Amino acid sequence: MIHDSVVPFGFPAICRKKVTAAFDGGRLTSDGGVLLLAQAERRMGIAGHLANCIADPRDQSRVVHGLGDILRARMLAIACGYEDADDLDTLRHDPGFKLAAGKLPDAAVGLASQPTVSRWENAPTTRELVQMMGVMVDIYCASYPAPPAAVTLDIDETVDIVHGGQQLSFWNGHYGTRCFLPIHVYDTATGRPVAMLLRAGKTPSGAEMAGHVRRLIRRIKKHWPRARITLRGDGHCGRPEIMAWCEVNRVDYVFGLPGNRILHADPVIAGAADAVCVDRATRGWPVLRRHAETRYAAKSWGTTGRRVVARIEASTMGLDIRFVVTSLKDGTAERICDTLYCARGRAENLIKLHKSQLASDRTSCRSANANQMRLILHTAAFWLMWRIQQAIPKATAPDVTSLATAEFATLRLRLLKVAARVIESATRIRVAFASACPDAATFRTIVLALRPAPT
């Protein structure tokens, strides 16, 4: 019986020549760029580091798929756009993925199947997940060739709508749905992911956020004891517990601060707001923005007064005042508001990459531990895409568009979804890409940049 995939079918004739087709091309892959990801993974060693954190009780003499190989295949598939473990059932004999996993294209044994992958997603204990999250922070620190003098870390939570009655799912009135509120931390100046933590879908308390910050900073300080770290976040982070811990441990912060009656009535802020409104009206401008700063101490802060800067904007729509609390003593109010604090918008874009282009919100497991494991794997895929992006040469002319600044979806379309024929002989394996590939030069440059160092 002829298999359905090789039954020929036709297309309209071209120049009086009949056009027929069938899925009988042989050993082809539509994800030839997965070999780039495999090189990036080998350079960073993410799968091996994560696998070392998980206890493997199997009889190693009978093991077909090593734990590192299973995790590697999963993160490679995620980066290529296959976000579900089910996809590995159809990819397990793909020649491109087999080569990326270190297997011969003609080998009878393919990649791990979906049941095997799913079992290991549910296998790690809470203690092992904590170790894996620490490893992800270590990978971030190791990605710098030398300890930086200063880094700014953006911390934010994002809504992750649940798919059923999962552990940690809570009703959130602000979003109007049951969800998780995972915490994302990024080094936005370079686009590096730092840490991702799954948590309940309720607003975090100050003590909870301070605990997460404390563990994160201490892990980073083990690698960079002299680095100056600045935390940046919205009003959820502007809690007295976090600010007090940062001040004691010499960590700077720039946090959003919700406005209140006392802040709006502050003589400095009120006077500056009146002046902005009057000047805008007398000059007939549609909008006018100015800045001011004061010292403020909420009741929950005790007697500690902290520097608060305000962005005051008057327009035809009315008056808008936004506040920022900071430990920084240098810099004008305008620089802190418009340059330092507003730069956290980059973190929102990175979260979108993480969620929409790497599908990290596919946290549909019942167990909270399994969902945290998925979040770690999707973050590992983020690292692979980031590493590919860094290997692309930057544009030398201002009017030239470079893939070095492209989003992950564009990188996947242009560099990963590349068809290739895999030819295996007795002594070598040849991967033949299309001669008309428009990004052949960039592809070759990435391969050379990620080539293993000679031993």
pLDDT digits (tens, 9 = 90+) for 125-165: 999 999 999 999 999 999 999 999 999 999 999 999 997 78
**Residue 131 shares a structural domain with residue 195:** yes
Looking at 304, 327, 350, the residue that finishes a domain is 327
**Residue 94 shares a structural domain with residue 156:** no
**Residue 66 shares a structural domain with residue 176:** no
pLDDT at 243: 93
**Residue 180 shares a structural domain with residue 246:** yes
Does residue 64 fall inside a structural domain? Answer: yes
Q: Which CATH number fits the domain that encloses residue 290?
A: 3.30.1300
Report CA 157 to chain centroid distance, whole Å.
12
**Residue 68 shares a structural domain with residue 95:** yes
**Residue 100 shares a structural domain with residue 188:** no
Half-sphere exposure of 407 (CA within 13 A, CB side): 13
pLDDT at 21: 82
Does residue 336 fall inside a structural domain? Answer: no
Instruction: Please count the other Cβ atoms lying within 10 Å of the Cβ belonging to residue 12.
Output: 6
- Cβ neighbours of residue 47 under 8 Å, at least 6 residues apart? 41, 68, 69, 71, 72, 75, 380
pLDDT at 302: 78
**Residue 316 shares a structural domain with residue 410:** no
**Residue 225 shares a structural domain with residue 149:** yes
Does residue 424 fall inside a structural domain? Answer: yes
Number of domains in the chain: 3
d(CA 194, CA 25): 43
Does residue 1 fall inside a structural domain? Answer: no
What DSSP assignment string belongs to 47-70?
Answer: HHHHHTTS---S-GGG-SS-HHHH
pLDDT at 214: 95
Does residue 370 fall inside a structural domain? Answer: no
Classify 420 as helix, strand or coil: strand
Query: Beta 318-326 vs 306-315: how paired, if at all?
Result: antiparallel
Looking at 342, 364, 386, the residue that finishes a domain is 364
List, edge to edge, every strand of the sheet that includes 183-187: 192-197, 183-187, 150-157, 228-233, 252-257, 318-326, 306-315, 287-296
Does residue 304 fall inside a structural domain? Answer: yes
Helix H or strand E segment including 145: none
Does residue 284 fall inside a structural domain? Answer: yes
pLDDT at 12: 86
Instruction: Please count the other Cβ atoms lying within 10 Å of the Cβ belonging to residue 372.
Output: 26
**Residue 99 shares a structural domain with residue 155:** no
Does residue 137 fall inside a structural domain? Answer: yes
Are the CB atoms for 155 and 232 separated by under 8 Å?
Answer: yes
d(CA 256, CA 233): 6
Looking at 337, 364, 391, the residue that finishes a domain is 364
Are the CB atoms for 56 and 67 separated by under 8 Å?
Answer: yes
d(CA 395, CA 391): 12
pLDDT at 5: 61
d(CA 78, CA 376): 12
**Residue 175 shares a structural domain with residue 280:** no
Are the CB atoms for 420 and 431 separated by under 8 Å?
Answer: yes
**Residue 117 shares a structural domain with residue 130:** no
**Residue 234 shares a structural domain with residue 265:** no
Print the domain residue range for 160. 126-250+359-364
Q: What are residue 15's phi and psi, to 5 degrees? A: 55, 45
Tokens of 297: 């101490």
- Enumerate residue ranges in the chain where pLDDT < 70: 1-6, 396-401, 453-455
pLDDT at 22: 79
